[in-house]
Structure 1
């Protein structure tokens, strides 16, 4: 039974990391290109996903809130998203 749980945990970690690599499209990943991370996560069972979690995930980008009292159409990022 413990062996089955370990296999399920490895599969779930791999699936989670594959989805996260796929969703990192607009972000800059660290250390290697995104396609190489996907290859490593899929082909190297435990080391690939753990390496992605600690070495490859993109940094969280903090979004700046507009200044108080400014209208949404003053924010260039907001206007760019409307197109």
Structure 2
């Protein structure tokens, strides 16, 4: 019986802490001002946090999927632009090397 009491007390404490953290960190709460919810959570042992989670906690809105990729390597347009930019630089460098090589091969003409 004592173990059950300790377990229920631990559950009530965890519920209280979670509700308190959620109530203090939420941008907005529903159905009452934040101060009222904090008092309800603190003064009514199990029913306060339960009521907060049922009626006070803000409803999470589903976020619309972002049209922008989250990382540069997820963006195909970015990868194409990087690849084309690097390819252009490589082609220019190769052309310069070929010009230098051909200039070295040609004999000097007076």
Normalization by structure 1: what TM-score? 0.71
CA deviation profile, 1:27-46 (whole Å, cap 9, x unmatched): x3111000110010011001
Normalization by structure 2: what TM-score? 0.55
Partners of 1:13 and 1:34 lie apart in 2 by 17
Displacement, 1:22?
0.7
Flag the structure with more relative contact order, 1 or 2, with Cα contacts below 8 A and sequence separation at least 6.
1
2:11 pairs, out of 9, 12, 28, with 9
Displacement, 1:64?
3.7
Partners of 1:60 and 1:51 lie apart in 2 by 17
Superposed, which structure 2 residues align to 1:1-83 within 5 Å?
A: 1-24=3-26, 26=27, 28-67=28-67
Q: Which structure dedicates a bigger proportion of its chain to helix?
A: 2
Point out where structure 2 has 5 or more consecutive residues left out of the alignment: 69-110
Q: What's the C-alpha RMSD, in Å, of the aligned pairs?
A: 1.7
2:81 counterpart residue number: none
Structure ID, larger Rg? 2
Partners of 1:66 and 1:19 lie apart in 2 by 29
Displacement, 1:61?
2.7
Name the count of aligned residue pairs.
67
Point out where structure 1 has 5 or more consecutive residues left out of the alignment: 69-83
